[in-house]
């Protein structure tokens, strides 16, 4: 960037974090307040679940950067800041895994689906901590950014496994349910992959890595809920538009 400014300073600017992340989810909530609950979609019998799911996670998505940003700074405790950050990381991963398992296996008991999603959610950061501990033991203490890079890489691997193996094994290659889940998992793998790429650049001392990191932030915080809504309900919206002609 020009002058003495850096992309890292841009990244941590208050307008970029958290306020720019709140525009899309707020607009989504206003849209939902002004319209009837959506119906139909890729899996019509689960439209009610998706409708409620999207509202809950739109609110939590807005809470995340506020709580882990201004609120954490106001608290002023490093332990509290770390704990809040970890909580919302887990919620962000859980929202993906719960959605995939619920839509892929609707006959499963709700409690079992939640428990399995929670278990997979916890497995990723535990594995990331183990990877960093191993690297610390072999190479000496590595930068803390390596922990995030490990988490991001592991979640990319998990998302790709679910998209390429789990979903087709349960639902086959075709069908609206399978296509919806694979689209969501592809979207998730994309933002986690961009985060990992950004962190590699940051670890190498490339300031532009912070600019790259701002892109998956928008995909994760701002556009995940609108994307899921559009992918799930697009088919019914298209059919309604054609019927009105």
Q: What is the pLDDT of residues 162-183, one digit of tens each?
A: 999 999 999 988 899 999 999 9
Region of residue 129 (phi > 0: left; psi between -120 and 50: alpha; otherwise: beta): alpha
How many CB atoms within 10 Å of residue 118? 15
Query: Burial of 167 by CB count in 10 Å (0-12 exposed, 13-18 middle, 19+ buried)?
Result: buried
Number of domains in the chain: 1
Tell me the CA end-to-end span of the chain in Å, nearest whole number: 51
Determine if the peptide bond prior to 18 is cis (ω within 30°): yes
Please give the residue range of the domain that contains residue 227. 13-34+45-237
CATH of the domain at 29: 1.20.1070
Res. 1: pLDDT tops 70: no
Confidence tier at 240 by pLDDT (50, 70, 90): very low
Residue 64 above 60 pLDDT?
Answer: yes
**68 is a domain residue:** yes
Residue 84 in domain = yes
Evaluate if pTM is beyond 0.85. yes
> Which residues lie below 8 Å from residue 67, measured CB to CB, with a gap of 6+?
84, 88
Classify burial at 244, counting beta carbons within 10 Å of its beta carbon; exposed 0-12, middle 13-18, buried 19 or more. exposed
pLDDT(236) > 80: no
- For residue 216, tell me if it sits in a domain: yes
CA distance linking residue 210 with residue 7, whole number of Å? 6
- Within a domain: residue 75? yes
143 secondary structure, DSSP code: P
Does 79 map to a domain? Answer: yes
Instruction: Please indicate, yes or no, if residue 2 is contained in any of the structural domains.
Output: no
- Listed in sequence order, the DSSP H helices in 105-223 are 110-139, 145-161, 167-171, 176-203, 208-217
């Amino acid at each position: 960037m020009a002058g003495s400014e850096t992309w890292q300073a841009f990244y941590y600017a208050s307008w970029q974090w958290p306020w720019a992340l709140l525009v899309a989810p707020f607009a989504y909530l206003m849209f939902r307040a002004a319209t009837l609950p959506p119906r139909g979609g890729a899996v019509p019998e689960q439209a009610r679940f998706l409708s409620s799911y999207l509202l809950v996670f739109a609110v939590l998505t807005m809470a995340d950067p506020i709580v882990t940003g201004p609120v954490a700074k106001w608290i002023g405790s490093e332990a509290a800041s770390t704990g809040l950050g970890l909580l919302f990381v887990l919620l962000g991963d859980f929202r993906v895994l719960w959605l995939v398992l619920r839509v892929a296996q609707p006959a499963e008991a709700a409690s079992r689906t939640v428990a399995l999603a929670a278990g997979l959610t916890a497995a990723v950061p535990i594995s990331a901590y183990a990877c960093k501990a191993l690297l610390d033991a072999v190479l000496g203490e590595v930068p803390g950014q390596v922990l995030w890079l490990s988490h991001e890489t592991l979640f990319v691997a998990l998302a790709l496994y679910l998209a390429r193996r789990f979903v087709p094994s349960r639902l086959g290659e075709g069908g609206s349910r399978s296509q919806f889940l694979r689209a969501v998992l592809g979207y998730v793998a994309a933002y986690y992959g961009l985060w990992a790429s950004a962190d590699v650049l940051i670890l190498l001392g490339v300031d532009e890595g912070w600019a790259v990191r701002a892109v998956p932030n928008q995909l994760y915080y701002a556009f995940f809920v609108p994307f899921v809504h559009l992918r799930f309900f697009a088919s019914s919206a298209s059919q309604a538009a054609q019927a009105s002609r």
